[in-house]
Amino acid sequence: MGGRRWGVTGAEVLWRWARGLVRGVALASAFAASCVAWASDLPPEVRSALQRARVPEAALSVVVQEAGTGRSLISHQARQSVNPASLVKLVTTYAALDLLGPAWVWTTPVGWSGPLRDGILEGDLFIRGSGDPKLVLERVWQGLRRLQQAGVREIRGDIVLDRSAFAPAEDSPADFDGDPMRPYNVQPDALLVNFHALTWTVTPDPVRGVARIVAETDLPGAPVRTVPLVGGPCEDWRAGLKPVLAEGALRFAGSYPAACAEQTWPMADPDPAGHGARLIGTLWKELGGTLSGRVRDGRWPAGLRAQHEWRSPPLAEVVRDINKFSNNVMAQQLFLTLAAQRLPGQPATPEAARETLRRWVAERIGEGAAGELVLDNGSGLSRHTRMTAQWLVHLLQHAWSSPVMPELMASLPVNGLDGTMRRSRAPAGRAHLKTGSLRDVAGLAGYVLDDQGRRRVLVAVIQHPNANAARPALDALVQWALKAP
């Protein structure tokens, strides 16, 4: 991963978390209470689940406290520095709710140069991105439709897309795991149109003996893709299609089981930089508009007045999508937006976003836990991010007494019911928990409602090659927290 990171790792210049923080007051007594009389032993059912997964107890970091009071129920490897994976989204989203407010929205201005007469624009149409994480297909379609309803039907210039609010991405989509086609690897963009992703629909045609593969929106130059139908059960149909990226275009070199019904498969656009231009141009023409020029990147002219604004859903709704479904690219958009709001007029960079979060923690959270935090990005899709379970519990305790606690807590997956916790085997509906998952990392963090109606703050992270096989230990921990005295 490129760029400076927050922390200290050898050759890199990284910031020390504890040394840069001011002393907190509001939670000082709660934090002190968390450091005494904890139960050092793990519950037997958690131990057994770890043993079945062949994961040593030392690989598990756990803190369970009463919300508000800080009374400790478990503290095991609490100050061990761990990779939290997507649990870091709790830092990004809590900071955003606190700094911007739950009702805050992104605006995407639209304006034009030249006169507009009888539906004909004698000039260019400009769209300026501000980092909206949810500028999805339907909203782009609706925005362009509104333009036509306002009288813009023929553009005798270009459609110009201003993406300058964010600095160009430092990393390549392939940097993290070598798979640039995964939607979670999409890089942030000030004008992120439909997540820079394509949803492919695979439809079997038994009469012709093929399966047709088409994108959700037929972009210019997209060929008709077909693969032969084959016998056998409908199992790993995605692997059977064998997608191949060659010369910037996607091909399917495999086959599709005839036993499968129609399926969909979202993938990152192999040409993310051109995705917005191609999609906007296609939608404009599908709506009946005409364009004499082309769709291209450019800058919003100084002094140009916005004629329209495309407004995002409120931040509370965006945060819900980020945390419920652990959406990495949306988290990265929010991360950079925090920098853009602190430094208006400057292209937002990851380094500026890291500094924005560092300042927020220093000013709002206080000294807190005694460990270090190494922050790479806002999503947790990183091998460099580090924190301790004790530190994350301290953050969640602070959030518990915050005005935005209801929005943050409601954004977390509900165990056994929705989001990334829908498959949890703990009693359904009793916990709001963010999940974290990478190769060799599995974690949970959030709030649990016990049998007596008390909330508990729970953080648990397993770091081990068998971490994902040990998820039953996390379920067992949640069940224990429901009943612990």
Residue with tokens 């439709």: 145
166 in Cβ contact with 348 (< 8 Å): yes
What residues contact 400, with CB distance under 8 A and at least 6 apart? 67, 68, 447, 455, 457
Predicted pLDDT at 364: 84
Confidence bin at 38 (pLDDT 50/70/90):
very low
The closest of 366, 360, 340 to 167, measured between CA atoms, is 340
Q: Is the per-residue pLDDT at 322 higher than 90?
A: yes
Q: What's the CA angle centered on 60, arms 54 and 64, to 5 degrees?
A: 135
Predicted pLDDT at 181: 86
| DSSP category for residue 365 | I
Confidence bin at 7 (pLDDT 50/70/90):
very low
Q: Which residues of 83-103 are buried (b: 16+ CB within 10 A; e: fewer)?
A: bbbbbbbbbbbbbbbbbbebe
Predicted pLDDT at 15: 37
Burial of 385 (0-12, 13-18, 19+ CB in 10 A): buried
Sign of the alpha-carbon torsion through 206, 211, 216, 218 = negative
Q: Is the per-residue pLDDT at 406 higher than 70?
A: yes
**Torsion on CA atoms 49, 455, 424, 381, rounded to nearest 10:** -90
Confidence bin at 85 (pLDDT 50/70/90):
very high
Tokens read off for 13: 């210049």
Confidence bin at 137 (pLDDT 50/70/90):
very high
Q: Is the per-residue pLDDT at 40 higher than 50?
A: no
Predicted pLDDT at 416: 95
**Torsion on CA atoms 428, 429, 434, 439, rounded to nearest 10:** 10
Predicted pLDDT at 19: 35
Q: In terms of pLDDT, which residue wins out, 320 or 14?
A: 320
Q: Is the per-residue pLDDT at 452 higher than 50?
A: yes
Average pLDDT over residues 416-420: 96
Rounded Cα gap, residues 78 and 193, in angstroms: 41
Predicted pLDDT at 314: 98
Q: What's the CA angle centered on 421, arms 415 and 427, to 5 degrees?
A: 25
pLDDT over 70, % of the chain: 89
Q: Is the per-residue pLDDT at 22 higher than 80?
A: no
Q: Is the per-residue pLDDT at 130 higher than 80?
A: yes
3-state secondary structure 16-42: CCHHHCCCCCCCHHHHHHCCCCCCCCC
Where do the DSSP E strands lie in 255-386?
A: 256-257, 263-268, 290-291, 295-297, 308-311
Predicted pLDDT at 220: 57
Predicted pLDDT at 426: 86
Predicted pLDDT at 32: 39
Q: Is the per-residue pLDDT at 246 higher than 90?
A: no
434 in Cβ contact with 407 (< 8 Å): no
Q: What is the pLDDT of residues 221-238, one digit of tens each?
A: 556 689 999 999 999 999
- The fold for domain 18-103+315-483 equals Beta-lactamase (3.40.710)
Q: H/E element holding 95?
A: helix 89-100
Ranges of CATH 3.50.80.20 domains, the chain: 106-312
Average pLDDT over residues 305-312: 97
Ranges of CATH 3.40.710.10 domains, the chain: 18-103+315-483
Q: Which CATH superfamily is domain 106-312 in?
A: D-Ala-D-Ala carboxypeptidase C, peptidase S13 (3.50.80.20)
Rounded Cα gap, residues 392 and 398, in angstroms: 10
3-state secondary structure of 110: strand
Predicted pLDDT at 300: 98
Q: Which of 175-179, 226-230, 260-264, 420-424 has the lowest mean pLDDT?
A: 175-179
Burial of 440 (0-12, 13-18, 19+ CB in 10 A): middle
HSE at residue 460, side-chain half, CA atoms within 13 A, is 30
User: What is the overall mean pLDDT for the chain?
Assistant: 89
Predicted pLDDT at 203: 96
Distances (CA, A) of 263 to 216, 224, 253, 320: 12, 17, 17, 26
Tokens read off for 326: 């652990």
| DSSP category for residue 82 | B
Predicted pLDDT at 27: 40
Q: Is the per-residue pLDDT at 368 higher than 80?
A: no
